[in-house]
Amino acid sequence: MLNTVGDLELKQILVHQIDLMAIEGKGDFLCPHCGTKISPNDESEEVYSILEPKVRNNVLESLLIRCNKCSNKLLLTGFAALESK
């Protein structure tokens, strides 16, 4: 989505939040924008790139990633609950 301000075009960035505790199975999910399968077992960074981890008290709290197919940003949450299992 583009907004025009004077001669500048501003691209609005949408971040989808995905709660890993709501995902069934082995943690795979589809990008909500383009449908690309994102798997936590993929360490190649071909499908997605890690942009920013958020750690609190040595526990991963959330992870901001980017789908490499559509550039959509995804905020993954629910890691703390996974650690306690």
Q: What is the DSSP string of 31-78?
A: -TTT--EE-TT--SSSSEEEEEEEEETTEEEEEEEEETTT--EEEEE-
Range of the domain at 74: 15-83
Q: Residue 55 domain-assigned?
A: yes
pTM of the model: 0.77
Q: Residue 6 domain-assigned?
A: no
Q: Residue 76 domain-assigned?
A: yes
Domain count for the chain: 1
CB 49 within 8 A of CB 65: yes
Local confidence pLDDT in tens for the 85 residues of the chain:
455 555 666 666 678 999 988 888 888 999 999 999 999 888 898 999 999 999 998 889 999 999 999 999 999 998 876 665 5
Q: Residue 9 domain-assigned?
A: no
